[in-house]
Amino acid sequence: MIGSTGHPLAPVGRRFLRNLGNPHRATDGVPITRRDLITAAVSGAATLFAPVVLGSEEESFKFGLTPVFLSNDLELLGHLRSYLSARIGGRIELVTRRTYQEITALLVSGQIQSAWICGYPYVQFKADLDLVATPVWHGKPLYQSYLIASADRKADDWAGLKGDVHAFSDPDSNSGFLVTRALLAENRQLAGSFFARSFFTYGHRNVIRAVASGLTQSGSVDGYVYEVMRETEPDLVKQTRIVRKSEWLGFPPIASPKSVANDRRVRALQQALISMQDDAEGRKVLALLRLDGFAATSPSHFDAIAAKVETVRQSG
């Protein structure tokens, strides 16, 4: 297999790319490791992982955004870039990808300096990552995972979803996949046998749309995204209902690779996020995101997510 640069991909790189985007990747018994991520990021898969070039790599600060990010609205992205540029200095490059895994690969390999990721990949690679800040929503740096179904569905609890066609968000999403897998594992169930069929939509909004349209009978979704969409797209959300809410879990954080721990721009980013409420441009960003602000949190804030990873691992 030849990458776009003309160099052969290493075997582990081929395995990574083969699994990337595969709906069964998270349960096929071939876990993605730190070595896989770094090898794929540097082995010649340039068309998949190359960031958009906006200027000199030495001058730009690359900030990654995964599907946990609520919107690709141009107004929001413009205000975010403007705010970070003013507070960090220099050129800010917002790097977006379709999947969590792609952004995680760039982050762990140090090709981007920071990213808004999910708690699931954070606990998987926390030995390689530093927490920068965690969003605060409704006064807490916490959120929930929702199991949703169509509005006219009669299911009283999660057990009533057995036999459904079910929509997950992303194989590396806590709220959109891991929480449901852990719930089933705790009850000696596997997603592959509990649901008649399941697939990944690669976006929490897409999960809601799939359930609302009748494409699927149920779905696993980020509660923060669901509640914001209840405000912004009420006609869509009212076609669904919440069947179950998880316990409160660590909100998807902003993280940086430990390899750039001494980069003054990472420290400036943390300060910019934590003080965002004190700046007019920052308040515009928070208003568009429906967030209260950002706070510094410790790795232990994500212990409950790590426990779910272990529950799923032990279930096989």
Q: Name the pLDDT band for 70 (thresholds 50, 70, 90).
A: low
| pLDDT on residue 56 | 41
pLDDT digit string (tens) for 172-215? 999 999 999 999 999 999 888 999 999 999 999 999 999 999 99
Q: Name the pLDDT band for 66 (thresholds 50, 70, 90).
A: confident
What is the CATH T-level fold of the domain 61-141+250-314, as seen in this structure? D-Maltodextrin-Binding Protein; domain 2 (3.40.190)
pLDDT digit string (tens) for 112-170? 999 999 999 999 999 999 999 999 999 999 999 999 999 999 898 999 999 999 999 99
Query: What is the number of alpha carbons within 13 Å of residue 85 lying toward its C-beta?
Result: 13
- pLDDT of 72 above 60: no
Segment of 49-53, 72-76, 149-153 carrying the highest mean pLDDT: 149-153
pLDDT digit string (tens) for 246-281? 999 999 999 999 999 999 999 999 999 999 999 999
| pLDDT on residue 68 | 60
Please give the order of strands across the beta sheet that includes 165-168.
Answer: 197-200, 165-168, 218-222, 145-150, 240-245
| pLDDT on residue 1 | 31
The alpha carbon dihedral of 190, 196, 200, 203 has a sign of negative
Cα torsion 57, 61, 62, 67 to 10°: value is -160
Please give the order of strands across the beta sheet that includes 254-257.
Answer: 91-96, 60-65, 114-116, 254-257, 129-136, 293-295
Give the chain's end-to-end CA distance (angstroms, integer).
31
Amino acid in the structure at residue 241: R
| pLDDT on residue 316 | 72
Percent of the chain with pLDDT over 70: 79
- pLDDT of 60 above 70: yes
CATH architecture of the domain with range 145-246: 3-Layer(aba) Sandwich (3.40)
- pLDDT of 46 above 70: no
Angle between helix 264-274 and helix 74-88 axes, rounded to 10 deg? 120
pTM of the model: 0.81
| pLDDT on residue 44 | 31
Residue with the larger pLDDT of the pair 221 and 35: 221
Token duo for residue 214: 């009748």
Residues carrying CATH 3.40.190.10, the chain? 61-141+250-314, 145-246
- pLDDT of 27 above 70: no
Q: Print the SS3 string covering the chain.
A: CECCCCCECCHHHHHHHHHCCCCCHHHCCCCCCHHHHHHHHHCCCHHHHCCCCCCCCCCEEEEEECCCCCCCCHHHHHHHHHHHHHHHCCEEEEEECCCHHHHHHHHHCCCCCEEECCHHHHHHCCCCEEEEEEEEECCECEECEEEEEECCCCCCCHHHHCCCEEEECCCCCHHHHHHHHHHHHHCCCCHHHHCCEEEECCCHHHHHHHHHHCCCCEEEEEHHHHHHHHHHCHHHHCCEEEEEECCCEECCCEEEEHHHCCCHHHHHHHHHHHCHHHCHHHHHHHHHHCCCEEECCCHHHHHHHHHHHHHHHHHC
Percent of the chain with pLDDT over 90: 72
